[in-house]
Structure 1
Amino acid sequence: MGVEQKLGNMGVVTTTLETVVNWSRTNAMWPMLFGLACCAIEMMSAQSASYDMSRFGMELMRASPRQSDLMIVAGRVSKKMGPVLRRLYDQMPEPKWVIAMGDCASCGGVFNNYAIYQGVDEVVPVDVFVAGCPPRPEALIHGVLTVYEKVKGEKFKDLAVK
């Protein structure tokens, strides 16, 4: 059943500008890979033919922060890597979102020592935490869909406050 049959002969489709902008943001999201440990292997396999993140508009993962709007931090972040992560995050254009993939990125994992951040949210603001050690590609895809739902619900007035 198409739009023509639902609308009849009216020939008009109405929507809001927010809805169109949020729809375009979700369907053209470019992730920036930041793979630091074993979780990066699972992140790479989410791009493979078995899981195919291309169906969500993510054809390939960029290594350049200036073209990306979603950062996927996969693995443990050391104190030495924290400033690099923050610099890359600051180079991303607004609006931007972050997924912390794996237990190490979420809460430090089994590495409870002075050299590892106990969660990447100490360095950059995180929108979605994906649990697991390492999390399966399905979990990352669920995290991406959670970010999509968050983006679809954003309002212009909330973005202006940031």
Structure 2
Amino acid sequence: ISCCSASQSRALTIRAVDAGSCNGCELEIHALGNPYYNLEGLGIKFVASPRHADLLLVTGPVAKNMEIALRRTFDATPDPKLVLAVGECGECGGVFGESYASCGAVAKVIPVDVAVPGCPPTPAAILQGILTAISVRKPR
């Protein structure tokens, strides 16, 4: 089984962005690297640069000091791009979203295609969110 459609000739590449999370979601994202989830076999790879990414995976409420960096990362990602907001904080701001130092949910800063709820969401839920984002791909 491949996550990528026949029209895609390469793997799905993901750039993970911590926009101000508590790192709970990052632990679950890191667990996706376990052989149990077989990301490489699905054609999913994490990359260091947004210029090489198809999907931005964003965690945390967007801290005010990360707002410009997140917008620049979004702008640097080539079209067609996907955005996945991971965790309660990414989806709606969570417990830290109303802080003076927070912009709130990811969708308040950049457009979001799919949000994965949970505090933190399980690796399986994050993988399902990635696969859902691929299936609802639409041009911006």
Normalising by structure 2, what TM-score?
A: 0.86
Q: Does 1:57 align with 2:43?
A: yes
RMSD in angstroms over aligned alpha carbons? 1.9
Please point out which of 86, 89, 93 is paired with 1:101: 86
1:38–1:75 CA contact under 8 A, matched in 2: no
Structure-to-structure mapping, 1:114-153, within 5 angstroms? 114-151=100-137
Contact kept in structure 2, 1:40 and 1:75, CA below 8 Å = no
Unaligned runs of 5+ in 2: none
Match status 1:91 vs 2:76: yes
Going from structure 1 to structure 2, the CA distance change for 1:101 and 1:43 (only over 3 Å counts) comes to: same
Give the strand-richer structure, 1 or 2: 2
* Match among 22, 30, 33 for residue 16 of structure 2: 33
- Give the deviation of 1:76 after TM superposition: 2.7
Runs of at least 4 residues off by over 6 Å: none
Are 1:75 and 2:60 an aligned pair?
A: yes
Q: Residue deviations 1:38-64, cap 9 Å, x none?
A: 211111111221222223211x31120
| Secondary structure class of the residue paired with 1:110 | helix
CA change 1:56–1:27 in 2 (3 A) is farther
The alignment covers a number of residue pairs equal to 133
Identity across the alignment (%): 38
Which residues of structure 1 form unaligned runs of 5+? 1-20
TM-score normalised over the length of structure 1: 0.75
CA distance in 1, matches of 2:95, 2:37: 28
Q: Please tell me whether the aligned partners of residues 27 and 56 of structure 1 are also in contact (alpha carbons under 8 angstroms).
A: no
**C-alpha contact (below 8 Å) 1:32/1:62 kept by paired residues:** yes
SS at match of 1:82: helix
- C-alpha contact (below 8 Å) 1:103/1:133 kept by paired residues: yes
